Structure 1
Amino acid sequence: MAGPTTAERGAVRTESESGRPRSGRSPDRRFRLPGRRFLLLLSSVIVLCAGGIWLLYGSAWLRVEQVRTSGLEVLKPADVEAVAGVPITEPLISVDTEAIERRLRQKLPRIDSVDVERSWPNGIGLKVTERKPALLIEKGAKFIEVDAQGVRFATVEKAPKGVPLLELTVDQSPGVGRFGTTRLISEAVRVRDELPGKVAEDTRVLKVRSYDSISLELSGGRTVMWGSGEDGGAKARALTALMKAVPKAAHFDVSAPTAPSVSGS
Structure 2
Amino acid sequence: APVPPERRRRRLSRRGLLLVPAVLLAAVVAFGGWALYASSWLRIDRVAVGWAGDGPRVLEADRIAAAAAVPVGEPMARLDKDAVRDRLLEALPRLKDVEVVRAWPDRVVIKVTERQAVVLVPAQDGFAEVDIDGVSFGVVPEAVPGIPLLSLELEQNAGLRRFGEERIVTAAVGVVAALPPALHRQTEVVRVRSYDSISLELAGGRTVRWGSPEQTEAKVAALTAVMKAAEEARYFDISVPSAPAAAVS
Give the number of the structure with larger relative contact order, counting CA–CA contacts within 8 Å between residues 6 or more apart.
2
3-state SS in 2 of match to 1:217: strand
Q: Deviations over 1:142-196 (max 9, x none)?
A: 1111111111122222333311110000144443222211011011012112323
Whole-angstrom distance in 1 between the partners of 2:131 and 2:222? 26
Give me the TM-score of the superposition, normalised by structure 1: 0.84
Q: Deviations over 1:21-48 (max 9, x none)?
A: xxx988x99xx65522222222211211
Q: 1:66 — aligned with what?
A: 46
- Deviating more after overlay: 222-231 vs 68-77: 68-77
Q: 2:81 — aligned with what?
A: 97
Residues 101-250 of structure 1: pairs in structure 2 closer than 5 A? 101-250=85-234
Question: 1:141 Cα deviation (Å)?
Answer: 4.1
Q: 2:29 — aligned with what?
A: 49
Call closer, same or farther: CA 1:247–1:36 in 2, change over 3 Å: same
The 8 Å contact of residues 196 and 240 in structure 1, kept in 2 or not, is answered as no
Q: 2:248 — aligned with what?
A: 264
Whole-angstrom distance in 2 between the partners of 1:155 and 1:56? 44
CA RMSD of aligned residues (A): 2.0
Whole-angstrom distance in 1 between the partners of 2:3 and 2:43? 62
Whole-angstrom distance in 1 between the partners of 2:147 and 2:157? 26
- Deviating more after overlay: 77-86 vs 194-203: 194-203
The amino acid of 1:67's aligned partner reads: V
Whole-angstrom distance in 2 between the partners of 1:185 and 1:79? 30
- Deviating more after overlay: 67-76 vs 219-228: 67-76
Q: Deviations over 1:50-83 (max 9, x none)?
A: 1111111111111011100011701111211111
State the number of aligned residues: 240
5+ residue gaps, structure 2, are none
Give the share of equivalent positions with the same residue, in percent: 43
Whole-angstrom distance in 2 between the partners of 1:238 and 1:123? 53
Give me the TM-score of the superposition, normalised by structure 2: 0.89
Q: 1:81 — aligned with what?
A: 65
Whole-angstrom distance in 2 between the partners of 1:194 and 1:60? 52
The 8 Å contact of residues 173 and 209 in structure 1, kept in 2 or not, is answered as no
5+ residue gaps, structure 1, are 1-19
